[in-house]
Structure 1
Amino acid sequence: MPLPPDTIIGIDLGTTNSCGAIAHGDGQVKLIPYKGGDYTIPSIYAIDDKGHELIGHEAKRQWQLNPRNTLYATKRLIGRAPKDDVVESVQKSVQYRVHAGTQNDVALDCHGRTFHVPEISAKILAKIRDVASDHLGFKVQRAVVTVPAYFTDRQRQAVKEAGTLIDLEVVRIINEPTAAALAYGIGKRLDERVLVYDLGGGTFDVSIIEIRERVFEVKATGGDIFLGGIDFDNAIIEHVLDDFRKKHGIDLSSDPVAMQRIKDLAERTKIDLSARGEAPFSIPFITMTPQGQPLNMDVKFDRKLLEALTQHLVDRTLKIMGAVMVDAGITAKDIDEVMLVGGQTRMPIIQDRLTRFFGKPPSKGVHPDEAVAIGAALYGWSLQESSDLKIQLLDVIPMAIGIEQAGGTMHVVFPRNAAIPNAKTVAATSSVDGQKELVVRIFQGDHPETARNELLGEFTFSGVRPCRAGEVRLEIMFEVNIEGILTMSAKDLDTGRKMQTTVRVASA
């Protein structure tokens, strides 16, 4: 059956790999295939030495030879301020240059050009859209795009912006664990409480979701957008660099081509060790001695060593999971199923630790790499007029949203795990005589001091009646929509006049 041209596809925009899917008929889902039969595409963008743009598999193939001009794991930087310590730690682990952008954001250098992070996300989205359009026979113009549950408002806005840059209407943004739960639960007439443990290439999320037939209610969520498979790779990389330094007195970390060869083998070794007990870590002719003698890298690697090097990362995931369970007010015995999402969950120790924690093995009910795109496609299909699938999503915000009070403390408007959509009003007044503007600074995060939270923006309400301090009675309305995105408006209670709001993303 031909699909209508207003069809909404589902896109999982991942840190290391992305994936597209389409739902049709009575809920059949098809993953969108690429040349060569792959269903996932590396989230990588490059410019080669001839100035050609490369995206996905083509970009990955030339990565070793062109590490300075190959941009990867950029999702970790989307919607972030440049002063962020995250940006510093990313710069240490990537070969391309990361620096402050012109819009209180992060910019990336590639082959003499500078890009804002949403531009790179837009190029990956465009590739998925174009492959889907070729496959379906019409130009895809609408999509549901997934993001980590632990993304802030600013990061969600940046993903929307990426869609706008390529004229792709992002009809809805939904959280990755929620999408995976949709893939698991639609059509099964379930009444279950599931815990989604989502450890992908760059981010970690845990969500506890109650599924009642077609109602999916998130009870609590938590995560770390700086914890994923890349960090497991980096633990291997640090170990082999250290071993080489001790053996030969040479530091390879400043050699971009050697580092890229090590990075590729680290990822392959990690994957091999999920199926085998040991794997050789050998790279011939990695560098030369000062006398011109070629040197090889040779390290013995087994599963026990990998588990020892990454135990702190696995422990971090379980600590976050425990905190989310406390937030939801439940214990291990209250969970009906544990769902594993994300490629890193294939690591046997992760499955063993979860089995011990819950007293039963995790569910094999969804494909860890494809569930998020499938769930996004099902949700996209439910939003179409021609669909008879009606899904009710009741999600939450991952961390508190509030405004700065005098003294720099946070006045919480929406607490962590507040249900969305949601709306709240806050009373405000003028603080000095004759004031004509009211400036409100909005933050997101769970720390009582705003300086430790993420600044979402500065909202200026102009047109305030000039009165004596404290005489103006204003009401500010905060609304968070189903996508977790914030909007604001203000009203003068004495005159009934609504004030215009100008939103300025504050500079650092």
Structure 2
Amino acid sequence: MSAIGIDFGTTNSVVAAWTPSGPEAIDIDSPPADWADLGFGRVLPTVFGLGPHGETLFGWEAKTLAQGERLQAVKRLFQQEVSVTLNGQEFLVETVATMLFGHMKAKVLESGISADKAVVTVPANSRGLARYRTRLCAQMAKLQVLALINEPTAAAMAYSQRMPFDQRVMVVDWGGGTLDVTILEAQAGVFIEQASKGIQRLGGLDLDARVAQHIAASTPGVDTWNSLERHLFRLAVEKAKVRLSERDFTNVDLPRGGFFRLERAAFDASVHSLVERVRQPIEQTLADLRAAPADIDAVILVGGTCKVPLVREVIAELMGKEPAAGVDPMTAVAEGAAIATAILSGQMEDNDFFVATEHALGTFALDQTGEMRFSTIIPRNHKLPARATESYTPAMDEATSISLRVVEGDPDDEDYTVLQTIDVPLDPARERAQDKSFDVTYEYDLDGILNVDVEDRLSGRTLTSSRVGSGIAPLTPRERVRIAEDSEAALAEGRVAPRPAAAVADPTVAELLQRARTAVIPYVDEDKARPLRELADALERASDAERPDRVLDLELALLPYSYLF
């Protein structure tokens, strides 16, 4: 056996392998007894930490670290962050993620299973940037990535192993960081995504933060807790959330003694507005297919957040049916990824899977009224791999080049991300704009990697050809080697070789920036994270004269979230 399935989650990761009896999750970490009793026996927290002597720690050791610093929710940082800071030292996000993949691979090898190849799962609504970086980091950990597949597709494959008949299923995949809703058709062992919609920054972390805020509001002295006490409080809140899945009340231990009695009714009230947001992607996917809840044969719930009773109640009420049984929300995605490895390696010849785009791909172009609008080339919910071509003409006769913006987004919501801007040369000898027309071809593969070709319509000559780096400039070969070598050395020697944080020499300022970027920004809604990110960037760029004011601005902005750090 040489291939594994990896569910690289925001808060927790799971690895599974294909065996003669089917997919099986692999023990790759040892949780404390109180967490193991809550169903986390085969789960590795996606947490990276530095111990008191600078040693690298992963999983439960990092999550429960008493002395030192830790970084949680690494996958959330894939959306836009380039680096993170621990102990005043800066690390590329890719370096941290590569070490996490390497750690998982090493633990699988220790269990006696070969792990040279892998299928890695990603959220269905994951942007191209996050997909690109996920694949890159797994490769730098010396894993041959057979494919990136969407988490809901993997979950449906795991469910269909137990219910092997033709059906249309809806998967609600709600983990620590993201919410995805996907409708798939399972026919004769083939899994076909039909529609998908999600929310990128909404998960168990956000529920935890909301509950922590509720408790902190009636707990004196919260603003005087030190960083370790705040961390212990966050762990206690997370544990209470899990316990309330089976109890009507529980006690949340407070770091300086005593406890807060948390009843499920109060928990439900504090997170109700967040849970209600699950309705929008469910209703949208049904509308995309012009389907009704009765047209769905089974509703599959995966991800830790789907274990919350209120979540299950809201979904059951909306869909008119109880969630399907027989699926472990914590391990189903990894098990489905293991099934995908068996399909791709030929061990399951009668099965296959097809995925679809969750976002449209296109460019910005002038419409007939002269307004700049999104021009779709590959629509949302198109099956992958996909290839499509659209023709365009420069707006002016005098144009000698155009800037083609490669855009990913949702036209209905007017939510766009510019993945890359490509300069396209035009023939200056041609006088009329229509003689400078060109064809733009987008080719999108199963891994979410986009190739863009621009061809002159008159001559058929290729004007430019780009492999879009999914929102970032691809790392140079030297950078890839450095990250891989640093990660491998850290795993082998229990140390790290970080890049100095030269931008901020003042340790007090560096600590404040770290608090903002690793303890608060990943855990709050994007509309709240954006101004915090801008304040942190402004502080980092501030001159000596400006710095005191910028420090004060950021400190005041972080005060409402003091329970998080």
Q: CA deviation at 1:389?
A: 2.5
CA contact (8 A) 1:430 1:469 kept: no
Aligned: 1:192 with 2:167: yes
CA contact (8 A) 2:230 2:255 kept: no
Give the whole-Å Cα distance in 1 for the aligned partners of 2:464 and 2:379. Answer: 26
Q: CA deviation at 1:18?
A: 0.4
Give the whole-Å Cα distance in 2 for the aligned partners of 1:366 and 1:466. Answer: 64
Residues 390 and 485 of structure 1: is their aligned pair in 2 closer, same or farther, counting only changes over 3 Å?
farther
Alignment of 1:76-475 (within 5 A): 76-80=76-80, 105-136=81-112, 138=114, 140-186=115-161, 188-244=163-219, 248=220, 250-252=221-223, 255-283=226-254, 285=256, 296=257, 298-385=259-346, 387-406=347-366, 407-431=371-395, 437-447=401-411, 452-462=415-425, 466-470=429-433, 471-475=435-439
CA contact (8 A) 2:25 2:335 kept: yes
Q: CA deviation at 1:77?
A: 2.0
CA contact (8 A) 2:177 2:204 kept: yes
Write the letter of the residue equivalent to 1:307.
D
Q: Percent identity?
A: 27
Deviation digits for residues 203-242 of structure 1, max 9, x if unmatched? 1111111111211111211111211111111111101111
Q: CA deviation at 1:193?
A: 1.0
Give the whole-Å Cα distance in 1 for the aligned partners of 2:304 and 2:73. Answer: 15
Q: CA deviation at 1:297?
A: 5.6
Match of 2:452, SS? strand
Deviation digits for residues 33-64 of structure 1, max 9, x if unmatched? 225484221100011221111111221221x4
Match of 1:262, SS? helix
Deviation digits for residues 97-125 of structure 1, max 9, x if unmatched? xxxxxxxx432111232223232222211
Q: Which moved more, 1:124-133 or 1:14-23?
A: 124-133
Residues 395 and 506 of structure 1: is their aligned pair in 2 closer, same or farther, counting only changes over 3 Å?
closer
Partner of 1:58: 61
Give the whole-Å Cα distance in 2 for the aligned partners of 1:272 and 1:448. Answer: 39
Match of 2:177, SS? coil
Aligned: 1:34 with 2:5: no
Aligned residue pair count = 458
Residues 50 and 463 of structure 1: is their aligned pair in 2 closer, same or farther, counting only changes over 3 Å?
farther
Deviation digits for residues 368-390 of structure 1, max 9, x if unmatched? 111100111111111114x2424
Residues 371 and 436 of structure 1: is their aligned pair in 2 closer, same or farther, counting only changes over 3 Å?
same
Give the whole-Å Cα distance in 2 for the aligned partners of 1:145 and 1:33. Answer: 17
Q: CA deviation at 1:153?
A: 1.6
Deviation digits for residues 422-462 of structure 1, max 9, x if unmatched? 21111134455675544210111114797x41111112335
Partner of 2:7: 12
CA contact (8 A) 2:28 2:104 kept: no
Q: CA deviation at 1:487?
A: 1.3
Give the whole-Å Cα distance in 2 for the aligned partners of 1:127 and 1:466. Answer: 58
TM-score (structure 2 length as normaliser): 0.76
CA contact (8 A) 1:196 1:206 kept: yes
Q: CA deviation at 1:490?
A: 1.9
Residues 464 and 165 of structure 1: is their aligned pair in 2 closer, same or farther, counting only changes over 3 Å?
farther
CA contact (8 A) 1:241 1:253 kept: no
Give the whole-Å Cα distance in 1 for the aligned partners of 2:93 and 2:224. Answer: 25
Residues 282 and 107 of structure 1: is their aligned pair in 2 closer, same or farther, counting only changes over 3 Å?
same
1:482 to 446, 458, 461: 446
CA contact (8 A) 1:241 1:252 kept: no
CA contact (8 A) 2:343 2:352 kept: no
Give the whole-Å Cα distance in 2 for the aligned partners of 1:233 and 1:79. Answer: 21
Partner of 2:527: none
Give the whole-Å Cα distance in 2 for the aligned partners of 1:404 and 1:477. Answer: 14
Give the whole-Å Cα distance in 1 for the aligned partners of 2:333 and 2:113. Answer: 24
Partner of 1:86: none
Q: Which moved more, 1:226-235 or 1:429-438?
A: 429-438
Residues 177 and 448 of structure 1: is their aligned pair in 2 closer, same or farther, counting only changes over 3 Å?
closer
Q: CA deviation at 1:353?
A: 2.5
Match of 2:53, SS? coil
Q: Where do 5+ consecutive residues of structure 1 fail to align?
A: 81-104, 286-295
Query: Which protein is richer in helix relative to its size?
Result: 2
Give the whole-Å Cα distance in 2 for the aligned partners of 1:464 and 1:50. Answer: 62
Give the whole-Å Cα distance in 2 for the aligned partners of 1:467 and 1:177. Answer: 50
CA contact (8 A) 2:11 2:45 kept: yes
Write the letter of the residue equivalent to 2:14.
C
Give the whole-Å Cα distance in 2 for the aligned partners of 1:160 and 1:32. Answer: 21
CA contact (8 A) 2:30 2:60 kept: no
Write the letter of the residue equivalent to 1:485.
I
Give the whole-Å Cα distance in 1 for the aligned partners of 2:263 and 2:48. Answer: 32
CA contact (8 A) 1:460 1:501 kept: no
Give the whole-Å Cα distance in 1 for the aligned partners of 2:291 and 2:239. Answer: 38
Residues 329 and 237 of structure 1: is their aligned pair in 2 closer, same or farther, counting only changes over 3 Å?
same
Residues 15 and 506 of structure 1: is their aligned pair in 2 closer, same or farther, counting only changes over 3 Å?
closer
Residues 476 and 299 of structure 1: is their aligned pair in 2 closer, same or farther, counting only changes over 3 Å?
same
CA contact (8 A) 2:195 2:285 kept: yes
Give the whole-Å Cα distance in 2 for the aligned partners of 1:50 and 1:420. Answer: 47
Match of 1:453, SS? strand
Q: CA deviation at 1:159?
A: 0.9
CA contact (8 A) 1:109 1:115 kept: yes
TM-score (structure 1 length as normaliser): 0.84
CA contact (8 A) 2:29 2:59 kept: no
Residues 449 and 233 of structure 1: is their aligned pair in 2 closer, same or farther, counting only changes over 3 Å?
closer
Deviation digits for residues 313-372 of structure 1, max 9, x if unmatched? 110012321222111211111111111101121112222223333333211121111110
Give the whole-Å Cα distance in 2 for the aligned partners of 1:412 and 1:116. Answer: 34
CA contact (8 A) 1:438 1:464 kept: no
RMSD (Å) for aligned C-alpha atoms? 2.4
Q: CA deviation at 1:133?
A: 2.2
